[in-house]
């Protein structure tokens, strides 16, 4: 007898990532039996249409998880740390998008295209979803690493407002509305900051984002490093299974609504040629090559937001670094960077139940 299809829970169903989980679900709906939604108190009782079905948002209680086989969770880290254990006790496998469990050696960090086998090694019943900035580049790196052996990575990120969820996107739109049309702004020290903070108060980004770039994302983790930079180093090493990979990252927030970009300087053990690297990426299922800069073809956030693959361009042999490739990659941080990867991982788990 075929077992009944598993029950999926979406926890944080009304957040920026939860909303995309609901958007991405319809074409993947056949995997699942019941789908249940939970969110914060302000949304409990409201009805969402998901894949043609009206679902009522439930409160996050221990009982919510009864009968749930797999829960995809995107809620603030401090809540997620508490509720993951509750969900596991009630019998659910948790796929968590917070940084809380990503470094735990007993928690796999899964990208289905790279380390699908690791979903089975989940002694705590928890699987972590990687950070969205790492997700932007990791598929490209894995494809190149398989053939040329990655040894060093120097990256600079261009991270979108949606990395801070709905509040981040709303704040950027608020700032754009304030400065848009003020043609005298941007030539005097602090004028953009004064106008924005006067209208809107201080920013969750740590400074004005419209007409600016902010060279700090996340929290301070010591020795001058940000949590976003630290995550890039640790999560890249863990996903690729290379605990000694040399990584240095600078993370910068930019005034883009959604979709992260990363400038990558990647060095390999074996001599790498641009043409062969391009061919390997053309053949990779989750990567699209957009690389004809002479004719204006390179990935940009506004062109690829809302799409599933990672888009790579600007592939160049670093002239003075014989085994190094420079490239630029864009990826939707809410979609494959979060929601889609969680659902793909959930499907891998469902196949093991």
Q: What residues between 170 and 209 interact with a copy of itself by CB under 8 A? A: 170, 173, 176-181, 183, 185-193, 206-208
Residue from 28, 124, 314, 323 touching a copy of itself (CB under 8 A): that is: 314
Residue from 15, 313, 331, 337 touching a copy of itself (CB under 8 A): that is: 313
Binding mask 221-240 for a copy of itself (x = CB under 8 A): --xxxx------x-------
For the residues of 111-169, what is the DSSP string, one character each?
Answer: -TTT-GGGGG--TTSEEEPPPHHHHHHHHHHHHHHHHH-EEEEEEEEEE-GGGGHHHHH
Stretch binding a copy of itself (CB under 8 A), from 27-35, 71-79, 121-129, 288-296 = 288-296
- Is 70 a binding residue for a copy of itself by CB under 8 A? The answer is no
Which C-beta is closer to a copy of itself: that of 48 or that of 178? 178
Binding mask 2-41 for a copy of itself (x = CB under 8 A): ----------------------------------------
Distance CA 299, CA 302 (A): 9
Distance CA 15, CA 349 (A): 23
Stretch binding a copy of itself (CB under 8 A), from 25-33, 105-113, 125-133, 294-302 = 294-302
Stretch binding a copy of itself (CB under 8 A), from 26-34, 257-265, 279-287, 341-349 = 257-265
Question: Both tokens of residue 190?
Answer: 């602090």
CA distances from 151 to 109, 244, 245, 255, 269 (A): 21, 9, 6, 32, 6
Neighbours of 286 (CB within 10 A): 21
Binding-site size, a copy of itself (CB under 8 A): 80
For the chain, helix (H) and strand (E) counts, in that order, are 9, 15
Residue from 62, 77, 123, 293 touching a copy of itself (CB under 8 A): that is: 293
- Is 315 a binding residue for a copy of itself by CB under 8 A? The answer is yes
CA distances from 216 to 136, 197, 251, 296 (A): 18, 18, 6, 30
CB of 221 to a copy of itself, least distance (A): 10
């Amino acid at each position: 007898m075929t077992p009944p299809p598993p029950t999926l829970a979406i926890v944080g169903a009304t957040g920026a990532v939860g909303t995309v989980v609901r958007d991405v679900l319809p074409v993947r709906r056949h995997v699942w039996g019941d789908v249940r939604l939970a969110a914060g108190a302000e949304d409990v009782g409201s009805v969402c249409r998901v894949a043609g079905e009206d679902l009522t948002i439930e409160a996050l209680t221990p009982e919510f998880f009864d009968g749930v086989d797999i829960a995809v969770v995107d809620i603030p880290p401090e809540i997620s740390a508490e509720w993951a254990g509750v969900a596991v006790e009630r019998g659910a496998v948790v796929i968590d998008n917070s940084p809380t469990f990503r470094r735990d050696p007993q928690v796999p960090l899964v990208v289905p295209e790279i380390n699908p086998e690791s979903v089975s090694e989940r002694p705590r019943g928890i699987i972590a979803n990687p950070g969205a900035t790492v997700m932007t580049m990791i598929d490209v790196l894995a494809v190149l690493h398989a053939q040329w052996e990655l040894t060093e990575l120097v990256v600079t990120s261009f991270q979108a407002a949606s990395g801070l969820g709905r509040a981040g996107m709303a704040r950027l739109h608020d700032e754009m509305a304030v400065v848009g049309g003020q043609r005298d702004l941007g030539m005097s020290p602090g004028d953009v900051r004064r106008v924005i903070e006067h209208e809107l108060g201080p920013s969750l980004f740590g400074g004005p984002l419209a007409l600016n770039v902010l060279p700090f994302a996340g929290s301070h983790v010591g020795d001058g490093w940000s949590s976003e930079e630290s995550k890039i180093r640790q999560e890249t090493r863990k996903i690729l299974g290379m605990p000694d990979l040399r990584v240095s990252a600078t993370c910068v927030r930019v005034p883009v609504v959604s979709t992260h970009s990363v400038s990558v300087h990647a060095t390999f053990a074996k001599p790498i040629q641009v043409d062969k690297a391009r061919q390997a990426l053309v053949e990779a299922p989750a990567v699209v090559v957009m690389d004809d800069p002479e004719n204006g073809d390179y990935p940009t956030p506004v062109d690829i937001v809302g799409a599933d693959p990672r888009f790579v361009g600007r592939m160049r042999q670093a002239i003075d670094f014989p085994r190094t490739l420079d490239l630029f990659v864009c990826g939707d941080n809410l979609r494959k960077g979060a929601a889609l990867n969680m659902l793909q991982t959930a499907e891998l788990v469902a196949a093991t139940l």
